[in-house]
Amino acid sequence: MSDDQISPAFPAPLRPEIESLETSKILQVWSLGFGREDLIPLWVGEGDRPTPDFICEAAVAALRDGQTFYTHKRGLPELRQALADYTNGLYGTTVAVERLTVTSSGMNGIMLTLQTIVKPGDNVVVVTPIWPNILSAVEIAGGLVRPVELEARPEGGFRFDLQRLEDAIDARTCAIFIASPGNPTGWVMTPEEQRAVLDLCRARRLWLIADGFIYDGMAEGRRAAPSFLEISEPEDPLVVVGSFSKTWAMTGWRLGWLIHPPSLADNFDRLIEFNTSGAQAFLQQGCLAAIRDGESYVADNVARCRQGGELVFQRLSGFSRVRIARPQGAFYAFFAVEGMADSLDFAKQVLLETGVGLTPGSAFGPGGEGHLRLCFASSTERLSEALDRLQPLLG
């Protein structure tokens, strides 16, 4: 065939899992408002503060010191040890350093885990509503998603149903994915619920992938929400995903970690070689500074988010069209709106009419429609202005 006979459309086939991926509904709203001068962006999971100086300075010093070469694929030994110490201090556990792997973002950690355990035709039971990237990640890995919806309470908020989770498992199920504290719902599993799910995974020989960032423990004076790490053994079929993004205001740094059985260490070492060859050493030095010197910053950030969350809850509770429960964890308000038929269309309307960026609930899979998500990790001044703008549509 001559060059002038070649079709302008590239003819070679793509994997159907990739070709059929839908554009995120979060991105659809983001694209509509990005660059708008009067924008108040409360649509994505990040605050309005840049990364603290002490973290940035550590990374810059490492960069100037020449830490720009390949390094340990599973992360700097001192960072892995610091993560183990931090985890054990937070939860009272005895997680060993060989169970820690540093990843190029929390999302990269999730993809590495799915690459490890999902075979074509397998399915993963996922508790929804959940961050949409999780659902797409399972499909990219060649698996199928079996969603299990949290039960929406009439007064607002959500309830977990263990029987519904168990009923979703079949012969091709390889894993259960649960995020707690939940994004977008703010739902937090109880230790009793966690123990029941872990026992189920042990009995059915299923992997349990647990995600959720450390923001607030709320009950009983805890420093963090309950973790599966508190009730598990080292060789349990459990992988816990962590990220530096939220806790230390490092969303753009794209670094995270996994806590996994020791037997998976070599597997992750090999997979990282073929995916990223490891995270940048100078950025890891910033992460090390965050863990070692960031306790007061984290405490201040948690207090700030509590204040913002209470403001948002009180104001939204007074809007006539809104049904909301106080979130148990995370820094999101996920609220139902009376008379909202299509949350994507309504989020676009809100953006165009008020300049406030919210996330449509339908972006988060089954159980999300009828809701909007608002990230309250911002100053009370910024949040007050956003709520003033929203009142004519929601009040």
The Cα–Cα gap between 364 and 373 comes to 10
3-state secondary structure of 149: strand
Q: Output the pLDDT for position 218.
A: 47
Q: Measured at the alpha carbon of residue 40, what is the angle toward residues 36 and 43, in degrees to the nearest 5?
A: 100
User: What is the rounded end-to-end Cα distance, in angstroms, of the chain?
Assistant: 65
Q: Distance between alpha carbon 333 and the CA centroid of its chain, in Å? A: 15
At residue 152 the predicted structure's pLDDT band, cuts being 50, 70 and 90, is confident
Residue 242 DSSP class: E
3-state secondary structure of 112: helix
Span 187-237, pLDDT tens digits: 999 999 999 999 999 999 999 999 876 554 444 566 788 999 999 999 999
Burial of 37-71, coded b for 16+ CB within 10 Å and e otherwise, reads eeebbbbebbbbeebbeebeebbeebbeeebeeeb
pLDDT (average), residues 294-306: 91
Q: Output the pLDDT for position 13.
A: 84
Q: Output the pLDDT for position 8.
A: 60
The Cα–Cα gap between 38 and 61 comes to 36
- Whether 165 contacts 151, CB under 8 Å: no
The Cα–Cα gap between 356 and 114 comes to 35
Domains and CATH numbers, the chain: 3-51+296-394 (3.90.1150.10), 64-294 (3.40.640.10)
> Which among 311, 384, 383, 369 is positioned nearest to 336, based on CA atoms?
369
How is residue 243 written in tokens? 């990220």
pLDDT (average), residues 50-58: 97
Q: Distance between alpha carbon 143 and the CA centroid of its chain, in Å? A: 20
Which amino acid is residue 384, in one-letter code? S
Span 103-132, pLDDT tens digits: 999 999 999 999 999 999 999 999 999 999
The Cα–Cα gap between 281 and 234 comes to 28
Computed over every residue of the chain, the mean pLDDT equals: 92
- Dihedral in degrees, nearest 10, Cα atoms 16, 22, 27, 31: 100
- Whether 269 contacts 74, CB under 8 Å: yes
- Non-local (6+) Cβ contacts of 313 within 8 A are 324, 326, 327, 333
Q: Output the pLDDT for position 221.
A: 61
Span 156-194, pLDDT tens digits: 789 999 999 999 999 999 999 999 999 999 899 999 999
